[in-house]
């Protein structure tokens, strides 16, 4: 499962962070690193972008970018 598929209010653990070049570095810098828990806060009125909570703050990213972030599957979604 990837980050964009997480439903609102649910949280899960990051398995891997993909993406190319600046995008990936930006993810890592913003604290989206493997083994960290993220939760879905809300989805913008037009369905994109999404807002997540990571390391205690709110981060906005686009759905197409969020597809690069793989989540742990099975049982980890709370």
Partner 1 sequence: MIIALAGNQNCGKTTLFNALTGSNQHVGNFPGVTVEQKSGEIRGVKNYSVVDLPGIYSIRPYSSEEIVSRDFILDGKPDGIINIVDATNIERNLYLTLQLLELHIPMVLALNMMDEVRSNGGTIDVKMMSEKLGIPVVPISAVKGEGVSELVNRIVSVTKDKVYPTIMDFCPVGAVHRCIHAVAHLIEDHAQRAGVSARFCATKLIEGDDSFAHRLELDQNELELLDHSVLEMEHDTGFDRNEALADMRYTFINGVVDASVVKCHESKGQHRSVMIDKVLTGKYTAFPVFIGVMFLTFWLTFNVIGSTLADWLSLGIDWLTKLVDSGLTAYGINPVVHSLIIDGIFSGVGSVLSFLPLIVTLFFFLSILEDTGYMARVAFIMDRLLRKIGLSGRSFVPMIIGFGCSVPAIMSTRTLASDSDRKMTILLTPYMSCSAKIPIYAVFSAAFFPKYQAFVMIGLYLFGIALAIIVALVMKTTAFRGSPVPFVMELPNYRLPSPKTVFLLLWQKAKDFLQRAFTIIFIATIIIWFLQTFDTKLNVVTDSADSLLAIIGHYISAVLKPIGFADWRVATALISGFIAKEAVVSTLSVLLNTSTAALGSALSGMFTPLSAISFLVFTLLYTPCVAAVATIKKELNSGIGTVGVVIMQCVIAWLAAFAVYQIGGLLT
Q: Give the footprint of partner 1 on this chain (CB under 8 A).
A: 17, 20-31, 33-34, 36, 42, 44-49, 51, 55-62, 65
Whether residue 5 contacts residue 69, with contact meaning beta carbons closer than 8 Å, is answered with no
Residue with tokens 């993220």: 38
- Closest approach of Cβ 52 to partner 1, in Å? 10
- Closest approach of Cβ 67 to partner 1, in Å? 13
- Closest approach of Cβ 6 to partner 1, in Å? 16
Quick one: which of 52, 46, 48 has its CA closest to 69?
52
- Considering beta carbons, is residue 3 or 12 the nearer one to partner 1? 3
Rounded Cα gap, residues 25 and 10, in angstroms: 25
- Considering beta carbons, is residue 21 or 74 the nearer one to partner 1? 21
Q: Which two tokens stand for residue 16?
A: 């891997």
């Amino acid at each position: 499962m990837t980050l964009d598929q997480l439903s609102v209010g649910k949280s899960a653990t990051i398995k891997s962070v993909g993406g190319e070049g600046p995008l990936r570095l930006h993810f890592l810098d913003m604290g989206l690193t493997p083994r960290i828990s993220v939760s879905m806060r809300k989805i913008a009125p037009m369905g994109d972008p999404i807002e997540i909570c990571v390391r205690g703050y709110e981060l906005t990213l686009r759905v197409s970018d969020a597809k690069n972030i793989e989540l742990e599957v099975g049982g980890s979604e709370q």
